[in-house]
């Protein structure tokens, strides 16, 4: 049986594993930590704005299993400021649901193993080497290692290691498969002359907030706008410059702590909040951070390793290597990672089997989004942005302008049907 090796078990790697299995190849997934979902472990805001459209497209292409896993952890259907058509899910339940789904699909997952090297044959990868010396051979590979950290770069471009979910001090640094094949990657630029972007939210343990606040959360469908007290982000200038999603630089997100229930209680668009000021709010008098553990000081720095890629998600000059998620170019978000993962994994399987790869037409939201980002990042201004189907980098507006945004599954099916792409992941 042909084999695809997926490196990195964040949302992109989980999507890639599903995408490859749908094509009938053996899939091995290697993840350096103890769990799946990567930096998205405390995500929970799902399918908002243009992300809804690419979810419908991915479902119509045949990649349903990963969405069913998330939907099993559904918590609240609620609109958020500037974000509509989506819902909140429980992150703790989602991780288990995705793990079990991959198991059912027959994906071999190696936890607590890091890919440390690529063994090459010309431009093609023949095998990867793990930190325990094991060699795993494959016919095609997916790099889903993200672009966060490691500690050294969080220090250089942020406020040092704040013990985020990646836990580099224990598990060691992120290692990029693409870079190990000799391909040069790029780092996202930002306004203060440095690189990367600070993760956009932080979260406290739900047991550490008052029962009255949790009750209010429940009554308001999982989202409470708490007036932001003075000093909650005392160095607001720095904060605004470094955060990943500039899309959130809008009124409500400045005036309020936009607080959502995603298993943990998350402050949206706040990489950090001043711990002492937070504790002055009655609901948070016992607040205890879960991500990052050093809450109140900063967050992880991401977008430090983008692979040059084609619109099929093949890494340039590496015919049997594909990339997905944050690795695939300035792309932020759980949905963005899952859906690019599905495509990258499916195309890796196609290469393994000797089948033609899929390049989605620009009359689809995903096809247009991937092509447009690739064009944008060729420009000087484009390298200062991040992109997301929820809105960041102008991508959602671009889809609206192109007439591609829709939340109607029938419209999506018709569009894909016109190109003969219904269930293309399995066909």
Ligand X SMILES: Cc1cc2nc3c(=O)[nH]c(=O)nc-3n(C[C@H](O)[C@H](O)[C@H](O)COP(=O)(O)OP(=O)(O)OC[C@H]3O[C@@H](n4cnc5c(N)ncnc54)[C@H](O)[C@@H]3O)c2cc1C
Which residues form the interface with ligand X (CB under 6 A)?
A: 7-13, 30-33, 38-40, 42-45, 114-115, 144-146, 148, 166, 174-175, 199, 201, 291, 325-327, 332-335, 337
Shortest Å, Cβ 210 to ligand X: 23
Task: Please state the closest distance from residue 130 (CB atom) to ligand X, in A.
Answer: 8
Nearest partner of 16 among 332, 342, 336, judged by Cα: 342
CA 233 vs. chain centroid, Å, equals 25
DSSP annotation of 331 reads: B
CB of 395 to ligand X, least distance (A): 13
How far is residue 190's CA from residue 279's CA, in Å, rounded to a whole number? 32
DSSP character at residue 134: -
Task: State which residue, 148 or 404, has the beta carbon closest to ligand X.
Answer: 148
Closest CB to ligand X among residues 330, 372 = 330
The crossing angle, in degrees rounded to 10, of helices 11-21 and 91-104 is 30
Kindly state the smallest distance separating residue 116's Cβ from ligand X, in Å. 7
CA torsion 306→308→312→314, rounded to 10°? -100
**Which is closer to ligand X, CB of 25 or CB of 142?**
142
Question: Minimum distance from CB of 414 to ligand X (Å)?
Answer: 27
Nearest 5°: phi and psi at 24? 90, 15
User: Which of 270, 269, 266 has the alpha carbon at shortest distance from 287?
Assistant: 266
Beta carbon of residue 180, minimum distance to ligand X (angstroms, whole number)? 8
Nearer to ligand X, 274 or 363 (CB): 274
Cβ distance to ligand X smaller for residue 244 or 421: 244
The structure tokens listed for 212 are 């009255």
Q: Which is nearer to ligand X, 63 or 325 (CB)?
A: 325
DSSP secondary-structure letter at 190?
-
Distance CA 43, CA 300 (A): 14
Q: Which of 189, 270 has the CB closer to ligand X?
A: 270
CB 318 within 8 A of CB 125: yes
Q: In what order do the strands lie in the sheet with 321-323?
A: 108-111, 26-31, 3-7, 140-143, 321-323
Fill in the DSSP letter of residue 225.
E
To ligand X, the closest distance from the beta carbon of 341 in angstroms equals 7
Query: In Å, how far are 113, 368, 373, 379, 390 from 402, measured between CA atoms?
Result: 43, 9, 14, 21, 15
Element (H, E) at 265: strand 264-268
Residue 221's CB: how many other CB atoms inside 10 A? Answer: 16
Q: What is the DSSP letter of 320?
A: T
Quote the CA–CA distance of 96 and 92 in Å, as a whole number. 7
Query: In the structure encoding, which two tokens stand for residue 306, read together?
Result: 């983008």
- Looking at the Cβ atoms of 201 and 259, the one nearer to ligand X is 201
Q: Return the number of other C-beta atoms located less than 10 Å from residue 353's C-beta.
A: 14
In the complex with ligand X, the residue whose CB is nearer, 35 or 72, is 35
Contact residues for 245 (Cβ-Cβ < 8 A; gap 6+)? 197, 200, 269, 332, 386, 388, 390, 392
From the CB of 158, what's the least distance to ligand X, in Å? 12
Nearer to ligand X, 271 or 382 (CB): 271
CB of 217 to ligand X, least distance (A): 16
- Least Å from the CB of residue 51 to ligand X: 7
């Amino acid at each position: 049986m042909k084999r695809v090796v997926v490196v990195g078990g964040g949302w992109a790697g989980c999507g890639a594993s599903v995408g490859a299995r749908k094509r009938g190849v053996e899939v091995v997934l290697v993840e350096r930590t103890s769990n799946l979902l990567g930096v998205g472990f405390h995500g929970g805001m799902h399918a908002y704005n243009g992300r809804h459209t690419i979810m419908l497209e991915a479902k119509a292409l045949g990649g349903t299993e990963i969405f069913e896993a998330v939907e099993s952890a559904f918590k609240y259907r609620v609109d958020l400021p500037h974000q509509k058509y989506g819902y909140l899910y429980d992150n703790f339940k989602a991780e288990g649901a995705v793990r079990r789904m991959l198991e059912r699909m027959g994906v071999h997952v190696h936890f607590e193993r890091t890919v440390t090297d690529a063994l090459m044959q010309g431009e093609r990868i023949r095998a990867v080497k793990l930190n325990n010396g094991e060699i795993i051979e494959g016919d095609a590979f997916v790099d889903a290692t993200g672009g966060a950290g490691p500690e050294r770069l969080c220090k250089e471009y942020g406020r040092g290691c704040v013990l985020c979910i990646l836990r580099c001090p224990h598990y060691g640094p992120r290692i990029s498969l693409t870079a190990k094949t000799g391909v040069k990657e790029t780092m996202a630029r930002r306004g203060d002359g440095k690189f990367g972007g600070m993760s956009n939210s932080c979260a406290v343990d739900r047991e550490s907030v008052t029962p009255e606040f949790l009750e209010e959360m429940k009554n308001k469908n999982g989202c409470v706008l708490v007036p932001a007290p003075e000093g909650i982000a005392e160095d607001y200038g720095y904060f605004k410059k470094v955060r990943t999603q500039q899309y959130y630089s809008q009124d409500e997100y400045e005036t309020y702590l936009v607080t959502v229930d995603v298993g943990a209680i998350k402050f949206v668009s706040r990489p950090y909040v001043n711990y002492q000021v937070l504790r002055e709010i009655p609901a948070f008098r016992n607040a205890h951070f879960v991500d990052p553990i050093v809450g109140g000081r900063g967050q992880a720095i991401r977008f430090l390793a983008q692979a040059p890629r084609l619109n099929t998600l093949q890494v340039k000059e590496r015919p049997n290597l594909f990339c997905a998620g944050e690795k695939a170019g300035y792309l932020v978000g759980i949905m963005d990672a899952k859906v690019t993962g599905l495509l990258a994994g499916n195309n890796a399987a196609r290469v393994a089997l000797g089948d033609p790869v899929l390049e989605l037409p620009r009359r689809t939201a995903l096809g247009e989004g991937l092509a447009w980002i690739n064009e944008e990042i060729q420009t000087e201004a484009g390298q200062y942005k991040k992109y997301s189907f929820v809105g960041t980098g102008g991508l959602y507006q671009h889809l609206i302008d192109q007439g591609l945004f829709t939340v109607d599954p029938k419209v999506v099916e018709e569009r894909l049907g016109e190109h003969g792409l219904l269930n293309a992941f399995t066909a």
